[in-house]
Amino acid sequence: MPTGVALRDVREQLFDAADRILLSAGPHALTSRAVTTEAGCAKGVLHRHFADFDAFLAGYVLDRVHRMDAQAARLTEAAGTGTVAGNVAGALTALFGSVAVAIVALVTFRDELRARLREDWPAGVPVLTEGARMIASYLEDERSRGRIARDADPDTLGAMLIGTGHLLFADRTGPPPTPEAVLAMVTKIVPAV
């Protein structure tokens, strides 16, 4: 590996490498050596930016959670347009069609990572809890517009939709659920007006 070569956005290169490894080989293949090899840099680069590998993984997970902000903004902008079920189904498909399912497996797989995440994220799996909040916020907006039942509980519905959506998308080895299957699931959970 050449030395003295300046790397741009090292953290992002390492995080993108982690995405590729998680998606292609799963959490068991995610090691510091695999990440640096995939990123095309020396192993010491990771340790210059992070105290240890679990600190890297915690930073990676939280970075990917914060990337959901753009998706949440798009979902908020969709309030009052299209159908509620269609908007939620689209958000779930975008969320779980990304690296999110693999991140859930990673957090479940590594005890030390969960302990590190608790320092910044007090409960739950960050990708799932943030996804539930995103959907709950959207459903609250739609409820105030009269597009879902007035007595609907957006927080409970958000958690149900994330949990059920995760179950639909959890098998990384098979084909993803069809858009029709995701829409049917959302339609059964979200109470119509």
Instruction: Give me the mean pLDDT over the 106-125 stretch.
Output: 86
Residue 110: which of 30, 19, 25 has the closest Cα? 30
Q: What is the residue extent of each domain of the chain? A: 10-49, 62-189
pLDDT tens by residue, 147-178 = 999 999 999 999 999 999 999 998 877 888 99
pLDDT band of 109, cuts 50, 70, 90: confident
What is the pTM (predicted TM-score) of this model? 0.87
pLDDT tens by residue, 45-92 = 999 999 999 999 999 999 999 888 899 999 999 999 999 999 999 999
Q: Which CATH code fits 10-49?
A: 1.10.10.60
At residue 95, what are phi and psi to the nearest 5 degrees? -65, -55
**Domain spanning 62-189, CATH architecture:** Orthogonal Bundle (1.10)
